[in-house]
A and B are shown apart, each in its own frame.
Chain A
Amino acid sequence: MTRLTTEEIRIGVIGAVVVALVALLPFFDNGFYLSLTVNIMLYAALCTAWTLFSGPTHYVSLATAAFFGIGTYAVGLGIDHLPFPVLVGVGAVAAALLAGIVGAATLRISGVYFVVFTLGLAELVRQLVSWSQSKFTGRMGLYVFTDIREMHILWMLLALTVVVFLTGWLINRSRLGFAMEIIGNDETVAKHSGIDTARAKILLFMISGAFIGIAGAIMAPRYAYIQPPSAFNPMISFLVVIMALLGGTKRLWGPLVGVIPFTILMDIVSSRFPNHTYIVMGIAFLAIVYLLPNGVTGRLEQLRERLRHRQPKPEAVSEEKPA
C-alpha cells in the first residue's frame, strides 16, 4: 500500500504523455478542435470528479449543475473585485460547503431519495439565484471580462483533471479509500468494523463537489455573460451521469472512455440537429442502462474474464479448487 506497482508507473507514464499532447494542442489549432477539446476536458474533469464519489458509493448525484453553477457565479460576482485564482478557490469552498450540507441532510437516506433530492436541490439553487438577481440587481446576468483565452481554459481544465486523478489515486491508498471500498461492499459490516460511514461519505461528496465547483469557476470566462439557466443548466448533471455510466464507474479512468465519444457525438448532434439533443440524450441513456449496465470498461473486463475462463491456466485451476 506504500510502494508504487509497475502498473501504476505505467499508467503514470501514459497519463503524462497524454497530458503533454493535449497541452500542446493550442499551438496547432485555435479553432474547432481546440473548442471541442475544451468541451471534452470539461466533461473529463466533471465526470471524474463525479465518479470520485458516485463510483464507490453507487449514489447517483444530479447536483452537478448546482456545484458547477456556484463555481461559475463565484467568478461572475467577484471578478471585478478579486483576482481570478482566489475566486476559483472561493468557488471550490462554496461548492464543498453546499455538498457538506446536502450530504449531512441526505446521505443517511439512500437510493432514489438521494437522486430526487439532488435534482431538486440543483433546481432550487438555480431559482434562488434567479430570484435574488432580479430582486437585488435588476439584471438577469453577469458579465465576466478577463484576458483568459480558450487555451488557458484548456490548460486549467487539464490541470484540474490531473489533480482529480491524483486525488482519486491518493484516496484509494488512504484509509478513506479503504473505508469506501468496505462501505460499497456492506455498509453494516463497515459500521460494525468502526467506520463512521456518514462522515466518510460526506467527506467524499465534499471533495467531489469542490472539484466540480472549480470546473464551473474555470469555465466562467468562456461564457462571458453568465445567467442562471446556463450556469445551473440541468443538462450538465444529466450529461455527466450518462457519460460516466457509459464509460463505467468501477475505475476512476472509466468515465474518460465515455466522455470522449459522447462529447463528440453531442457536438455533432447539437450543430446539425439542434432541436433533437434531448432525444439523443434520452436514447443514449436507455441504451447504456440496457446494453452496458457496467459501462464500456465493465463490459471489457467481463469479456476478458470470460476469455480467461475459456483457456484456464493449469495452476489457476488447482488454486481455485477447494482444498
Chain B
Amino acid sequence: MSTPALTVNAARKQFGGLVAVNDVDFEVREGELLGLIGPNGSGKTTMLNLISGALKPTAGEIRLGAERISGKSPHEIAQKGVARTFQLVRVLPSMSAERNVMAGAVFGHARLWGDEARDVARDLLARVGLEKRAHLPVSALTYIDQKRIELARALASNPKLLLLDEWLAGLNPSELQIGISLIEELGNEGRTIIMVEHVMDAIRALCDRCVVMNTGHKIAEGEVGAVLSDPEVMRAYLGDDEDA
C-alpha cells in the first residue's frame, strides 16, 4: 500500500494538567475526505492546530507523506503543502478579494508570482462564485463570501492536504447547500481533505470515513454510517443515559 497523505502517530498535546489531545493515531489516504468530529471541547481544533503547526505536539509524530512535519513552524508546514481555514473566519480586511487569494498562491505550497498568481486567484474566485467581487475590499463582503475567500486562499497554494475547521458553521440552509456541493466538488477532484464539522448532514453527505474524538481521545474511526451508530459515539454525543 502506498504512503498515506497524512499519518498521525500518538499525537499528544498537554496544556499544564489538561490533556487536550491524548495519544491520537489516524491516517488520511491520498484523495480522501476525512471527517473529524466530536462534541465541543473534544480536541478537534487542537488536533488541526497540531497538524498545521499552530501548536507543537507535546509528544508523538505527524507525517505529511513520508516527511515529518510535527515540530516545524506553521510557515514551513504551509510551504510543504498543508493549507487551512480558521474556525472564526480570518480574512485580510484591507486587501481586495483577489489579493487575499493571491496570498495563498504566492507564499504557500505553489509559490507562484505575478500574473501566474493572479490567474490562479481569478480562477479560484470564479470557482467559489466571487468573480464579480474580485476587486472589492473583503471587509465589504458578507460572512459566507468571506468564508469563500478563505477557502479560495487555502486552495490557491495547491495544497497536498486541506484542513477545514468548521467551514460550514454559521451558514444558513441555502448557503449550506452551496457550501456542501463546493466541498463535494473538491473531493471529486481528488483533493485530500480533513474537515472538522458539527453539521452531521454534511459529514454524512461528504466524508468517506470519519474519526471521532471525545475528551482528547479517539473513540472511533471508520466508515461514516457505522461510526455514527457506534454506541460509544452516541454516548459521547448524547450522554450516558441510554434511554434518552
Q: Which A residues are within 8 Å of any B CB, using their own CB?
A: 1-2, 175, 178-179, 181-182, 184-186, 188-197, 319-320, 322-323
Contact = CB atoms under 8 A, between A and B. Distances in A.
B143 to A, nearest CB: 11
A319 B136 CA distance: 9
Given A181-B95, A186-B92, A194 B114 contact: no
B78 A192 contact: yes
B92 A194 contact: no
Interface of B: 52-54, 73-75, 78-79, 83-84, 86, 90-95, 99, 102-104, 106-109, 111, 113-115, 118, 132, 136, 140, 142, 153, 157
Contact of B107 (A2, A179, A185, A186): A179
A185 B93 CA distance: 7
A184 B92 CA distance: 9
Q: Do most interface residues of chain A lie in helix, strand or loop, or is the interface mixed? A: helix
Contact of A189 (B99, B102, B103, B114): B103
Contacts of A182: 92, 95, 103, 107
A131 to B, nearest CB: 39
Contact of A191 (B78, B83, B94, B153): B78
A244 B93 CA distance: 24
A138 to B, nearest CB: 50
Given A182-B103, A185-B94, A323-B132, A194 B157 contact: yes
A175 B113 contact: yes
17 contacts: A1-B114, A178-B106, A181-B94, A182-B103, A186-B90, A190-B75, A192-B75, A193-B103, A193-B104, A193-B153, A193-B157, A194-B75, A194-B108, A195-B75, A196-B73, A320-B136, A323-B132
Contacts of A178: 99, 102-103, 106
Contact of B95 (A1, A185, A194, A195): A185
A270 to B, nearest CB: 39
A191 B142 contact: no
A191 B75 contact: yes
Given A2-B114, A323-B132, A197 B142 contact: no
Contacts of B53: 192
Contacts of A322: 142
Contacts of A1: 114-115, 118
Given A194-B75, A194-B79, A197-B75, A189 B109 contact: no
Given A181-B95, A193-B75, 10 more contacts: A2-B114, A182-B95, A188-B54, A189-B90, A189-B153, A192-B53, A193-B107, A193-B153, A194-B157, A197-B75
